[in-house]
Chain A
């Protein structure tokens, strides 16, 4: 039944576009909200029978080869939550009805792409869904057709297309080695011909492509531009799940179930992760633009995920998966806050803000929660995931990496404190005296995401038992 997550939105969009205009425009929001909520609920209320049962009533043509395991579940929850936030924010920031309808359509295709990515079990279908998600996000970044958005979209488009070409080359070469492109077949064939020059080359190309897609450090040039230039609801989607589903999740999945955790792959992942953490954190320290700082902070946090996944142990992967979830929530929350600031102040330049927390109490308070979670302050969710990653590094004897990971947390706290002082504390600059809190849509979304961050931190034992422990069966 997992194919309903693709088929229902697909036929839903087709149906929406055939309805009369007035009805369709009103129905679109509720349809999208229903789809995303259903996705979250189905993933949380885990019924293995539901996912594996075939769509018996339908033709075999609709029985798509999907499978949902515990890592997919975590990602599905992230995709649902962040898409829903993006949708609600779009409702209050995209005012034109016609534009809003187009936006919702493309948002749904983007979420179809991401749900497909996390459920496929075939490397070529993975490429197809990666392209679906990527093509939707190009249109979304360029959606307002202002010059910055267009430039950001074009840069992202070129780099992302080069990345997919690298991955396709790798798939083509792997096809020499395997009769099929299913994960399981490829895994056996690659394990069989390990050390072979051409196969190693193909694996390198694929991982390189994923590093570009995920915006990790040597290949991160496109990411701050795309995040900064995108319209507010789109940056929530991009930073929250898009690059994570396209790059980071895919990297974890492909390494775990196709390439296998060999020493060179593990070392590369840990090294790239460490460089990303440091470069992202130091670059974030020097930013004056709110969204740009968040973008660099994203690079740094994604570094933690790769660092954790690179350990190749259960604890590291659990930490990485949980940090993936946490990052989706708190970075989504921070971008919701930036949407509120952009709407009210009219800019995301931090030098023109100050003392906003008394005028915008909800935005101020939720951003503090997100910041504390990002810097790993107990008992918020970010603390637990970083703790798991550090313990995993310590266990396999990478003491230096563990130490740098802890120190980089302090850097995270430093740049976020600088941001807080610039934006929310201190004196109100002239001209902002009449400022009011942002609309209900924005504050509700921000509060909901903040509640999830706090709740996931407090309920960590439950999450560990129900969501992270099942990860064992995928990886080992």
Chain B
């Protein structure tokens, strides 16, 4: 259960990717940063003995969500070059604080001594089979997922399709 050096390296990488996501100048780069963060998290999840969740994270979060973002960005009008330059100057001022805040949070966390005063509940027989847990114990959540997906379909029908496409976009 120890933290290995690989884990630490991946965690640092994850934070850098997240920082880059927020600081990136163009939206497309931010999306790529998000995909990289997600990919690193996938590896971490896999290393934490959860392969099925890792597959989901990789295919859905790294893949599908990036596709959704890229298509949303491409449906909205890209700015002209001059506008981008102006915006990035303004952005620079606002985002310069983030690394400082991050470092400050880090130092604060290191000094904050959180007491280690609890006992983990150990399962007598850990249910290792995800399928069993999903289909026999958590099937209420499965129904929830079905309803959520239906809402997603209604959302697409309602929000992406407009009655009068007057501006032709």
Contact = CB atoms under 8 A, between A and B. Distances in A.
Chain A in direct contact with chain B (Cβ < 8 angstroms): yes
A225 interface: no
Contacts of B152: 135
A10 B117 CA distance: 45
Interface string A100-141: 001001100100110010001010110011011001101100
B7 interface: no
Interface residues of B, number: 27
A6 interface: yes
Contact of B140 (A65, A113, A143, A189): A65
A178 interface: yes
Contacts of A6: 143
B141 to A, nearest CB: 5
B144 interface: yes
B146 interface: yes
Interface in A372-394: none
A142 B144 CA distance: 23
Contacts of A106: 151, 154, 158
A176 B118 contact: yes
Contacts of A65: 140
Nearest to B141: A128
A132 B148 contact: yes
Given A129-B144, A135-B148, A102 B121 contact: no
B159 to A, nearest CB: 6
Secondary structure type dominating chain A contacts: helix
B114 interface: yes
Interface string B109-132: 000001101101101000000000
Given A145-B162, A196-B117, A197-B115, A109 B140 contact: no
B103 interface: no
Contacts of A113: 147
A135 B149 CA distance: 11
Which of B140, B150, B162 has most chain A Cβ within 10 Å?
Answer: B140
Given A177-B118, A189-B121, A196-B118, A64 B139 contact: yes
Contacts of A136: 151
Given A178-B121, A198-B114, A125 B141 contact: yes
A112 B148 CA distance: 11
A59 B143 CA distance: 14
Given A132-B148, A179-B123, A139 B155 contact: yes
Contact of B118 (A7, A10, A116, A193): A193
A166 interface: no
A199 interface: yes
A64 B115 contact: no
Interface in B79-138: 114-115, 117-118, 120-121, 123, 135, 138
Given A189-B121, A193-B118, A196-B117, A132 B144 contact: yes
Nearest to A134: B151
Interface string A152-193: 000000000000000000000000111100000000010001
Contacts of B158: 102, 106, 139, 142-143
Interface of B: 114-115, 117-118, 120-121, 123, 135, 138-141, 143-148, 150-152, 154-155, 157-159, 162
The 9 A-B residue pairs whose C-beta atoms are closest, nearest first, are: A128-B144, A179-B121, A125-B140, A135-B151, A139-B155, A64-B140, A106-B154, A132-B147, A196-B118
18 contacts: A10-B146, A64-B143, A109-B147, A109-B150, A112-B147, A120-B140, A122-B140, A125-B138, A128-B144, A129-B144, A131-B144, A132-B148, A139-B154, A139-B159, A179-B121, A179-B123, A193-B118, A196-B118
Interface of A: 6-7, 10, 13-14, 61, 64-65, 102, 105-106, 109, 112-113, 116, 120, 122, 124-125, 128-129, 131-132, 135-136, 138-139, 142-143, 145, 176-179, 189, 193, 196-199
